[in-house]
């Protein structure tokens, strides 16, 4: 049996979600754009899913647009700001997902925007005063700041950032891919214009997500074709994916307090056992701070010895699935760890947890790591 501790990359599909989407793979297969009963029944299901999501987030159904996932949602938010709202200045952080950073780099290199980075400290904390200075000294801007980092787990105060943006008349986009389904989001109070989400990060199906776009903010289309999603996102809808997304979010909100408590205990257990059995362990960013980090992510920096070899391969060979950082950046040095000045010569392991993990799995993982380092010391 394998142990899966890479839930920041993707999560196991919830069995309740699987049961909910199966009929939309086998029985309800109509095209929702068709004007007959097969199409109408599927269209009704899609709109029901949209309403479910909107109700959970305290938003309006017309503010939810389904996408293929977080990357498309992030791209849509940024490109809409630049092309539909004539934004010429974008402020972001060096820690954003590549779906944000690479998009902004293309726009900058094309001469479409000026790009500014918010100052940060060695733990990855953002200097909000610097953000305010950047907003004061530039024309109307877009601020793009993720809610929680996918590698080191740092939580950003998007409520405060939203207030600062609102006071300066800036648009605000937040990538909430890692926190959607893990924290409650009240979009009627949060002063953001766009958020991005992806179902497979909270036990839903892969290949589906959504962008929240505040009422009155115009989206630019990335895809042209049919009139799906109220002419905002062309292409036949991912029906079973959308149904699964809504069900996964519904389950997440139903059980959110229980799962937060349970998973935080697993993370605390991992921290304590690593410190006890490995000794020379460091935690990147705010990863080990329960108040300032995502409870599902722990980034550990472990000592290096020539005998350790590739630590991720060692764990894989011992039936433990983890990563060194973002699954989207495999094979390259982490831009996040570079940005906080982490010691890149050490072994970095990102452990990320879910409701399906157990204390026994945590203990086994640390035992295997401890055995390796004890063998080296001997």
Active site residues: 328
Give the C-alpha separation, 237 to 350, whole Å.
34
The C-alpha angle 367, 326, 52, rounded to 5 degrees, equals 105
Question: For the CA atoms of 341, 344, 347, 350, what is the dihedral angle to 10 degrees?
Answer: 50
Strand segments (E) across the chain: 3-4, 64-67, 89-92, 114-117, 141-144, 171-175, 194-198, 209-213, 282-283, 297-302, 320-321, 347-352
Phi-psi domain of 347 (left: phi exceeds 0; alpha: psi -120 through 50; beta: other) = beta
Q: Are 270 and 360 in contact (CB under 8 A)?
A: no
Residue 266, SS3? Answer: helix
State how far the Cα of 156 lies from the Cα of 160, in Å rounded to an integer.
9
User: Environment class of residue 239 by beta-carbon count within 10 Å: exposed (0-12), middle (13-18) or buried (19+)?
Assistant: buried
* Maximum CA extent, the chain: 73
Return the half-sphere exposure (C-beta side, CA atoms, 13 A cut-off) of residue 117.
15
User: CB count, 10 Å around CB of 138?
Assistant: 16
């Amino acid at each position: 049996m394998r142990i899966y501790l890479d839930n920041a990359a993707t999560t196991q599909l919830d069995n309740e979600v699987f049961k909910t989407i199966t009929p939309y793979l086998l029985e309800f297969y109509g095209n929702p754009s068709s004007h007959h009963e097969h199409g109408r029944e599927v269209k009704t299901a899609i709109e029901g899913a949209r309403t479910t999501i909107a109700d959970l987030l305290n938003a309006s159904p017309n503010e939810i647009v389904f996408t293929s996932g977080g990357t498309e949602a992030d791209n849509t938010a940024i490109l809409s700001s630049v092309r539909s709202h004539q934004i010429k200045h974008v402020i972001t952080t060096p820690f954003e997902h590549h779906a944000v950073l690479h998009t902004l780099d293309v726009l900058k290199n094309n001469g479409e925007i000026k790009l500014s980075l918010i100052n940060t400290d060695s733990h990855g904390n953002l200097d909000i005063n610097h953000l305010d200075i950047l907003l004061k000294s530039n024309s109307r801007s877009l601020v793009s700041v993720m809610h929680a980092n996918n590698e080191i787990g740092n939580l950003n105060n998007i409520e405060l950032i939203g207030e600062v943006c609102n006071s300066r008349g800036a648009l605000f986009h937040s990538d909430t891919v890692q926190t959607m389904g893990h924290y409650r989001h009240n979009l009627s109070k949060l002063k953001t214009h766009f958020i991005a989400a992806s179902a497979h990060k909270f036990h839903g199906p892969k290949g589906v997500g959504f962008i929240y776009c505040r009422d009155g903010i115009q989206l630019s289309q990335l895809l042209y074709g049919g009139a799906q999603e109220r002419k905002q996102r062309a292409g036949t809808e991912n029906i079973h994916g959308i149904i699964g997304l809504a069900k996964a979010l519904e389950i997440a909100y139903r059980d959110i307090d229980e799962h937060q408590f349970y998973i935080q205990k697993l993370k605390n257990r991992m921290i304590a056992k690593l410190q006890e059995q490995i000794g020379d362990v460091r935690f990147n960013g705010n990863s080990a701070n329960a108040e300032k980090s995502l409870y599902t992510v722990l980034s550990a920096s472990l000592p290096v010895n020539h005998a350790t070899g590739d630590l991720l391969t060692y764990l894989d060979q011992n039936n433990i699935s983890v990563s060194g950082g973002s699954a989207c950046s495999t094979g390259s040095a982490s831009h996040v760890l570079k940005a906080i000045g982490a010691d890149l010569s050490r072994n970095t392991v990102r452990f990320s947890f879910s409701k399906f993990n157990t204390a026994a799995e945590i203990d086994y993982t640390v035992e295997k790591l401890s055995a390796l380092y004890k063998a080296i010391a001997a």
